[in-house]
Structure 1
C-alpha cells in the first residue's frame, strides 16, 4: 500500500489502473481548487481517502472484480440488493483498514 499522499497515490494508480489517471488528475485539481477556495484541507483529505480505498481494492484483482460484479448487480436491480450492498460495505471497510483509514 502506498503512502497516503497525492504523489504516492498517483504513482500507484498509474501502475495498477492507468486508465483511471484522467479521473484522478481531475479529482486532484478539483480538490486542490476547493481547498484553496474554502481554506480547508477537507477536500484534499477526501481525495486521499477516495483514492487510497481505490488503490487498496484494485491491488487485489479478485477483490476488484468481485466489487465490480456486486455494483453491477445493484445497478441492474434484478434481485434484492441488500446482500450485495452488505458485501460492498465489507469490501470497502477492508480496503479502508488496509489503507490505514
Structure 2
C-alpha cells in the first residue's frame, strides 16, 4: 500500500488503473476547493479514504473484478441484492483495513 498522501495515491492509481486518473484529479480538485471554502480538512480526508480503498482493491485484480461483478449485479436489479451488498461491504472493509483506515 502506498502512503496515504494525494501524490502517493496518484502514483498508485497511475500504475494500477491509469484510466481513473482524470477522476482522481477531479476529486482532488473538488476536495481541495471544498476544504478551502469550509476551512475543514474533512473533504481531503474523504478524498484520501476513497482513493486508498480504491487502490487497496485494485492491488488485487481478482478482488477488483469480483467487486465490479457484484456492483453490476446490484445495478441490474433483477435479483435480491442482499448477498451481493454484504459481499461488497466485506471487500470494502478488507480494503479499509489493508489501507490502515
Which interval holds the TM-score relative to the shorter structure? over 0.9
Normalised to the residue count of structure 2, the TM-score between the two structures is: 0.99
Please give the alpha-carbon distance, in whole angstroms, between the structure 2 residues aligned to 1:92 and 1:48. Answer: 14
Normalised to the residue count of structure 1, the TM-score between the two structures is: 0.99
Match of 1:50 in 2: 50
**Unmatched tracts of structure 1, length 5 or more:** none
Per-residue CA deviation, residues 16-73 of structure 1 (Å, 9 max, x unaligned), is 0000000000000000000000100000000000000000000000000000000000
**Unmatched tracts of structure 2, length 5 or more:** none
Q: Displacement, 1:91?
A: 0.2
User: Mapping of 1:7-86 within 5 angstroms?
Assistant: 7-86=7-86
Please give the alpha-carbon distance, in whole angstroms, between the structure 2 residues aligned to 1:76 and 1:38. Answer: 37
Q: Which runs of 4+ in 1 moved over 4 A?
A: none
Number of corresponding residues? 101
